[in-house]
Amino acid sequence: MSEEQLLTTTEVAHRLRIKPETIYAYVSRGLLDRVKVPGERISRFRLADVERLAARTQATRPARDAAPAMRTATTLIAYGRLHYRGLDAARLAPVTPFEEIARWLWTGERHAEPFAASAESIERARRASDHLPAQARLFDRLPVVVAVAAAMDPLRFDLAPATVTALAPALLSTMVDALPPAGEAARDDGLAARLWLRLTDLPASAAGLRALNAALVLLADHDLAASTIAVRVAASTRANPYAAVLAGLGALDGPMHGAVGAGVYRMIEAAQREGVPAVVAEWLRTGGLPGFGHSLYPDGDPRGAALLDLVAELSLQGELRRAVDDLIATAARRGALPNVDFAVAALAHATGMGPGAGEVIFAIARTAGWIAHVIEEYAQPGNRFRWNSGYTGPPPASA
């Protein structure tokens, strides 16, 4: 039994959402086995046993508030790691095509066939988004592209899992291929290579594509983030998958969610120009360092660490490398480690992408996870989310 498969009492209590003393009640009733580790005086518990117990107890636990719980078999964030259907995302990212991860999220099966969409859908979506004003961000094109893809799909109101899974590759392909090209097409027909063409005019390198593909994998899902909740609420009303994705894009476009990456990019840009001390002082004065720390990963975001390892293999120019290294070192002295937003911004700088690249990468990647949640939500009772408002206004006027 490897050490990483054994949990402490505190970790088990956090996962099961119970008090530590309740754990030993489970032990005495034979629901959970303790494991003694040579040289240690504390008890540990097998990860697999804890997960089985969690599935049993939490599936039957009544909700404590008025709204039904959102449960998912897609993603688990626990023990400082991100897991897609039980597989460690940070370990998958450097070696697994994004297309394979997307299908794993949707179906629990791993296939890496290329994603494709009809030429007509791509061309119509491109022409529609070309009508946006010149100051529009690249991200602004995505809702237009998704709306056109929906209009082109006569089966969009068929909510059967097989139909949703079948339309998803074409949706992701259209979202990428309808964006205007910035450089020359790569020989690779993978989604990461096609997205590269839309984000930078630099030639694609093997190391660069590997890093971009890893970023897509690492951002594909993150449990019930704000945008995913928006997607699931939309899906609960039986909005079609395209409409649910549009709900997610709306939530993602917030400066405290998907759009945070542009700020991180600007911070790295300013650090190269003005020096790290001045930039850090300014950001701290106005609220804090973006791109560092994560409440779900107190010991460091494994997604950021995995992606930064791949970015380090790229040929970063001297000023950029110094700025990235100095920002990480300065934040570390404050106890903050780089998260995935910082890693994506560093990747964008290293590959000649602009400040808007991060949110586009985020949106394309997260659409894969949203589709998985859409499929799950369609299996639940419809229109099931109705929160109490907690009204605080004036009392009704008397007649």
3-class secondary structure, 197: helix
Nearest-angstrom CA–CA distance, 51 and 105: 19
The model's pLDDT over 284-303, given as tens digits with 9 standing for 90+, comes to: 988 889 999 999 998 999 99
Q: Which domains does the chain have, with CATH numbers?
A: 3-92 (1.10.1660), 93-384 (1.10.580.10)
Establish whether 222 is a catalytic residue. no
Of 49, 221, 253, 294, which one is the catalytic site residue?
A: 294
Q: Residue 211 contacts by C-beta under 8 Å, 6 or more apart in sequence?
A: 307, 310, 311, 313, 314, 347, 351
Does 72 score more than 70 pLDDT? yes
The model's pLDDT over 124-157, given as tens digits with 9 standing for 90+, comes to: 999 999 999 999 999 999 999 999 999 999 999 9
Does 81 score more than 80 pLDDT? yes
pLDDT at 59 (0 to 100): 55
Strands 75-78 vs 34-36: parallel, antiparallel or unpaired: unpaired
pLDDT at 70 (0 to 100): 85
Residue of 45 and 75 predicted with greater confidence: 75
Does 221 score more than 70 pLDDT? yes
Burial readout 319-357 (b: 16 or more C-beta within 10 A, e: otherwise) = ebbebbebbbebbeeeebbbbbbbbbbbbbbbbebbbbb
The alpha-carbon radius of gyration of the chain (Å, integer) is: 23
Beta bridge pairs of residue 78: 81
The model's pLDDT over 163-192, given as tens digits with 9 standing for 90+, comes to: 999 999 999 999 999 999 997 766 778 999
Of 177, 221, 341, 349, which one is the catalytic site residue?
A: 341
Does 399 score more than 60 pLDDT? no
pLDDT at 218 (0 to 100): 98
Beta bridge pairs of residue 292: 338
pTM confidence score: 0.85
* Neighbouring C-alpha atoms within 13 Å toward the C-beta of 51: 14
pLDDT at 4 (0 to 100): 53
Establish whether 223 is a catalytic residue. no
Nearest-angstrom CA–CA distance, 244 and 171: 12
